[in-house]
Amino acid sequence: MIRVLFFAGLRERLQCAEVSVPASECSTLAELRSHLSERGGEWRSALADDKLQMALNRSVAEPHSAVDGGDEVAFFPPVTGG
Amino acid sequence: MIRVLFFAGLRERLQCAEVSVPASECSTLAELRSHLSERGGEWRSALADDKLQMALNRSVAEPHSAVDGGDEVAFFPPVTGG
Amino acid sequence: MAIAVSVQREAFDVAAEYAQLRRDNSADGATAMFVGSVRDFNVAQSVAHLELEHYPGMTEKVLREIAGEARQRWQLGRARIVHRFGRLDPGEDIVFVGAAAPHRQAALDACAFMMDFLKTRAPFWKKESGPDGERWVEARESDRDALRRW
Amino acid sequence: MAIAVSVQREAFDVAAEYAQLRRDNSADGATAMFVGSVRDFNVAQSVAHLELEHYPGMTEKVLREIAGEARQRWQLGRARIVHRFGRLDPGEDIVFVGAAAPHRQAALDACAFMMDFLKTRAPFWKKESGPDGERWVEARESDRDALRRW
């Protein structure tokens, strides 16, 4: 399974902090994102935001990055710390 | 009288921290410096150092600055604080 | 330790952070520090308090990378980053960065660098609560622009 | 007070200086500080201790002018400079400069500016004592060069 986390405003829109996705459903972050969008409704619109950032195993990652079982993926809005 | 102060390495070379000079002896900082140089010996050589800085009433000043009775003048090497 | 980062709910102590930068470190004559605090207004609305969310695990990793990069670029003896999360009221401190180096501009530039990267790379998100309700703070273009100089 | 300077024999307390920069000042979300300390070596010889001489009266005036200029240039809410004189051993703090501003780069730049001007304008002189005896520290070209950017 791939562990998928959502943070901040995105977590609130989805009303979901974490989901698990079978590794067989996708091989890249872009495919994972499409797979989640297929849930429809808020998932489709929120995940279409091109400002969203992605992390793979706690490092910022790109759409073409490969994902596999045991990976931790996160989607989140632009950061605003400091 | 003009109060004249010497600091740091210059004070040590002159073995003198402070002198008073009658205002009638000079009308500019350059003239005051010449007047002091006439004491000869270490005074002449130490005051000939063109790196020396001058202050008039606690502000950095130039050779042409006018001096008068009651003024406080200082001669000192380049500063090394901080 | 040459590099230390902490992500914590509790307030930090500037004096203790300074002491860590200086401890057994008489080779570094220059220490620069920066503290970011909650202002009592942001853009238009007045802020009653902030809630700071972060991504546990990734946050520490990113801060450690930023401090390590600063240490290499400026040959710092020490680099420290402390960032709080949770509820923060106006006037409270949010973030501390500190650098100790042999030369003053290295220490100051390293602090600027760490803050610029932290602002755009560390996974923290601020939610403001004010008289008009809650809102997530928007990322600022000026923070992304600040990275270009490094 | 918006500007404060102190020339003192006693050690200063970074936490107290920080508190003064922040006190009743929730408009300034950014506070930068710099501390200069005695290193255990300088150029070639190892230093047993420093003796710092200054020009009482002029020193305070110059530091106040430097802090005032920084405050105007960067619209600082607060600016502070503390400089010690007398005997200082390796590891001891010599100088503190601090600035509080609405924006982080203003606070950091103001600290760099105050240090650069202090180094070349404030009437302090360092005498080092080491195993080879005493010597007055020479002013450095690099400190004069640092002024050009302002």
pLDDT bucket at C3, cuts 50 / 70 / 90: very high
Q: Is D107 part of the contact surface with chain C (CB cutoff 8 Å)?
A: yes
Helix (H, G, I), strand (E, B) or coil at A17: coil
CB contact under 8 A, D33 and C37: no
pLDDT bucket at D44, cuts 50 / 70 / 90: low
Asked if residue D45 has pLDDT above 70, the reply is no
Q: Averaged over A29-33, what is the pLDDT? A: 98
Number of H helices, E strands in chain A: 3, 5
CA dihedral A38, A39, A45, A46 (to 10 degrees): -120
Find the residue in C nearest to D38 (Cα).
C29
Instruction: State both tokens at C41.
Output: 């207004």
In angstroms, the separation between the Cα of residue B60 and the nearest Cα of chain D is 9
Closest among C22, C4, C2 to C12, alpha carbons compared:
C4
**pLDDT tens figures, C125-145:** 999 998 889 999 999 988 888
pTM score of the predicted model: 0.94
Q: Is D3 part of the contact surface with chain C (CB cutoff 8 Å)?
A: no
Query: How would you class D54 by CB atoms within 10 Å of its CB: exposed for 0-12, middle for 13-18, buried for 19 or more?
Result: buried
Chain C residues near residue A78 by CB distance under 8 angstroms:
120, 138-139
Q: Which of A26-30, C29-33, D146-150 has the lowest mean pLDDT?
A: D146-150
Q: Is C34 part of the contact surface with chain A (CB cutoff 8 Å)?
A: no
Q: Is D111 part of the contact surface with chain C (CB cutoff 8 Å)?
A: yes
Counting CB pairs under 8 A, whether chains B and A reach 3 or more, is: no
The residue assigned the tokens 């600082």 is: D76
Was domain D3-148 assigned CATH 3.90.1170.40? Answer: yes
Q: What superfamily would CATH give domain A2-76?
A: Beta-grasp domain (3.10.20.30)
Q: Is C23 part of the contact surface with chain A (CB cutoff 8 Å)?
A: no
CB contact under 8 A, C36 and A82: yes
Q: Which of C38-47, D7-16, D94-103 has the lowest mean pLDDT?
A: C38-47
Q: Which of A5-9, C130-134, D39-43 has the lowest mean pLDDT?
A: D39-43
Q: Is B7 part of the contact surface with chain D (CB cutoff 8 Å)?
A: yes
Q: Which residues neighbour A62 within 8 Å (Cβ) at sequence distance 6 or greater?
A: A29, A54
Closest among D107, D92, D83 to D25, alpha carbons compared:
D107
Mean pLDDT of all residues belonging to chain A: 97
**CA A55/CA A2 separation, integer angstroms:** 13
Q: Which residues neighbour B64 within 8 Å (Cβ) at sequence distance 6 or greater?
A: B28, B29, B30
Highest average pLDDT, of C140-144, D24-28, D101-105, comes from D101-105
More confident residue, C39 or C121: C121
Smallest Cβ distance to D115: which of B9, B60, B82? Answer: B82
Helices D104-121 and C104-121, packing angle to 10 deg: 180
Q: Is C46 part of the contact surface with chain D (CB cutoff 8 Å)?
A: no
Q: Is C84 part of the contact surface with chain A (CB cutoff 8 Å)?
A: no
Element (H, E) at A69: none
Helix (H, G, I), strand (E, B) or coil at A16: coil
- pLDDT at res. C132: 84
Q: ipTM greater than 0.90, yes or no?
A: yes
Q: What is the DSSP letter of D137?
A: P
- pLDDT at res. D8: 98
**Would you list the domain boundaries of chain A?**
2-76
Chain A residues near residue C123 by CB distance under 8 angstroms:
7, 55, 74, 76, 79, 81
Find the residue in C nearest to A6 (Cα).
C55
Chain B residues near residue D55 by CB distance under 8 angstroms:
5, 7, 55, 58, 74, 76
Bridge partners for D37 per DSSP: D93
Alpha-carbon distance values, C6 to A42, B4, B59, C79, C84 (Å) = 35, 55, 47, 12, 8
CB contact under 8 A, D123 and B7: yes
Q: Is A81 part of the contact surface with chain C (CB cutoff 8 Å)?
A: yes
Q: Is D123 part of the contact surface with chain C (CB cutoff 8 Å)?
A: no
A–C interface: beta-carbon pairs under 8 A: 73
Q: Is B28 part of the contact surface with chain D (CB cutoff 8 Å)?
A: no
Find the residue in D nearest to C37 (Cα).
D29
The residue assigned the tokens 């969008």 is: A37
In angstroms, the separation between the Cα of residue D41 and the nearest Cα of chain B is 16
- pLDDT at res. C15: 97
Burial track C112-144 (b if 16+ CB lie within 10 A, e otherwise)? bbbbbbbbbbbbbbbbbebeeeeebbebeeebe
- pLDDT at res. D37: 96
- pLDDT at res. D131: 85
In angstroms, the separation between the Cα of residue B68 and the nearest Cα of chain D is 19
Asked if residue C101 has pLDDT above 70, the reply is yes
Q: What is the DSSP letter of C18?
A: H
Instruction: State both tokens at B15.
Output: 């073995």
pLDDT bucket at C26, cuts 50 / 70 / 90: confident
**CA B35/CA B30 separation, integer angstroms:** 9
Q: Chains with 3 or more CB pairs closer than 8 angstroms to A? A: C
